[in-house]
Structure 1
Amino acid sequence: MDFATPIGIGVALVAIMVSMIMDGGNPASLIAPSSMLLIFGGTIGVTMATVRLKDMSMLIGGIKSAMLAKAPVAEESIADLVKYAEVARKEGLLVLESAAKDIEDPFMKKGLQMVVDGSDPEVIRMILEGDIDSMKARHKAAGKIFKDMGGYAPTIGILGTVMGLVHVLQNLSNPSTLGPAISAAFTATLWGVMTANVIWLPIEGKLHRMGELEVKAKQLTLDGILAIQEGSAPRIVEQQLLTYLAPKDREALEAAKAASKKKAA
């Protein structure tokens, strides 16, 4: 699991609260139910108006994905594909049918099953690239929801502040209430800006990054499957797939393999 997003949001909120205390403020003054209702309810409502009702089901899923994200591990995919390349090289492609039954990754399982079925390489590429494009579209739709919320929240906050100031102007005859009323009015703007920049936009950014990593992982798998079908040597398959890793990751993987061989010897 990658907990960078919840940790980052937590650090940002703590920094905001501590800085407020250092300036002599009271964080409890930010707990304004009316402002929070306006910001969260208004932002979700306006965002809902821009998409299909079905699309809003991605709101909870997107938050969960960002908070508890599990990035695909390219090294594991490479190891699996090289193993299948060795099996196919020694025993033939048909042997992969039994191996494919135990594969947890649906994308890899689907690709290897098509290889076993003798599908044309171009057909395999077309179908799997179609799956990748569909995944990109889903990620884009989920990211758009949070990006829109990040754009609407500050404006809803300004609306709340204007509403509060209207209330202030209606009660000028009572000077003792002006200070708290003005403070409450600006709380809406604070919540709008804070939720946009501390919650919604960071989540959108995390989903975008996780989408990039998943696309890269599936593209790696696609290339490995096609290389296996072509009958490439396992070593060639491995070298081809290692190009997807950063140089330092390649070095770490090679070091781990060398250490494993040394231990086995």
Structure 2
Amino acid sequence: MDRLSVIGTVLALVALVGGAVLKGAGLAGLWSPAAFIIVIVGTLAAILLQTSLGTFMRAMKMLAWVYKPPAHDHAAVIAQIVEWSTIARKQGLLGLESQVAAQTDPFLGKGLQMVVDGVEPESIRQMLEIELHGQSSRDLAAAKVYEGMGIYAPTLGIVGAVLGLMAVMKNLADPSKLGHGIAAAFTATIYGIGSANLALLPIGNKLKTLINARTLEREMIVEGLIAIAQGENPRNIEARLNGYVH
């Protein structure tokens, strides 16, 4: 569990709700069905027009990463690769064959299988980098779904405010309705700016950070597997891979 994400979410709610209460607007002032439809539903409609179904579904699945990110134990990965290099130097590349089935990471398992099969190091690099680039591109496209919503939401908040003020202008003859109408109009602006800056844009940036961390780890794996295929000294491999960590 990512504690910072949990704390950030709680503080965002405290800032919004607490600010509304302290300013005298009250909790009721934050609720407006019309603003919800214009801003939230409108933002969803805009992003669906922009995004393919596969990318959108990927973005929804990746939302869980904000609170439970993929594990990245660089030290453990380096130790595993160094151990494999030691086995390869003592028993040959075929000595790693029993390790392939034990891998839970398909990327790592695929790379190790190519090493065992005696594939040329440059061919290993080329195939793994193609897969790495494709996966990173798909993940970044999914993260940009939240960035896109963070761009559309404030604009739709302004649209909601303008529509609300238009309704107020129609009731100028009835002063009793003016205050409520103006408050409802500005609620849409709160929905737009608040959802963008307290949720959507931070989520997008957090996902991009996690994607970059996983890409770095896989680049390290590629270098380690190629070094094993080339028969490099385990100590040299460890020193090279530690550069990715530090």
Give TM-score, length-normalised by structure 1. 0.88
- TM-aligned CA deviation for residue 143 of structure 1: 1.9
Q: Distance in 2 between matches of 1:58 and 1:160?
A: 29
Q: Distance in 2 between matches of 1:34 and 1:64?
A: 29
1:164 paired residue number: 164
Flag the 1:124–1:152 CA change in 2: closer, same or farther, 3 A: same
- TM-aligned CA deviation for residue 219 of structure 1: 0.5
Structure 2 SS opposite 1:244: helix
RMSD between superposed Cα atoms in Å = 1.4
Structure 1 SS opposite 2:245: coil
Structure 1: gaps (5+ residues): 247-265
Q: Distance in 1 between matches of 2:215 and 2:100?
A: 21
1:25 paired residue number: 25
* 1:17-48 CA distance string (max 9 Å, x none): 22333333313320222212221110010111
- TM-aligned CA deviation for residue 71 of structure 1: 3.9
* 1:195-239 CA distance string (max 9 Å, x none): 011111011101110111011000010011011111122211111
Q: Distance in 1 between matches of 2:23 and 2:93?
A: 69
Q: Distance in 1 between matches of 2:190 and 2:60?
A: 24
* 1:143-182 CA distance string (max 9 Å, x none): 2211110100001111111111111111112111110111
1:51 paired residue number: 51
2:144 paired residue number: 144
Structure 2: gaps (5+ residues): none
CA contact 1:5–1:202 (8 Å) conserved in 2: no
2:11 paired residue number: 11
Letter in 2 for 1:65: W
Farther off after superposition, 146-155 or 45-54: 45-54
1:209 paired residue number: 209
Structure 1 SS opposite 2:50: coil
Flag the 1:59–1:139 CA change in 2: closer, same or farther, 3 A: closer
1:175 paired residue number: 175
Q: Distance in 1 between matches of 2:49 and 2:122?
A: 41
Q: Distance in 2 between matches of 1:148 and 1:220?
A: 31
* 1:41-94 CA distance string (max 9 Å, x none): 100101111122332212311322223212422111111111111111221110
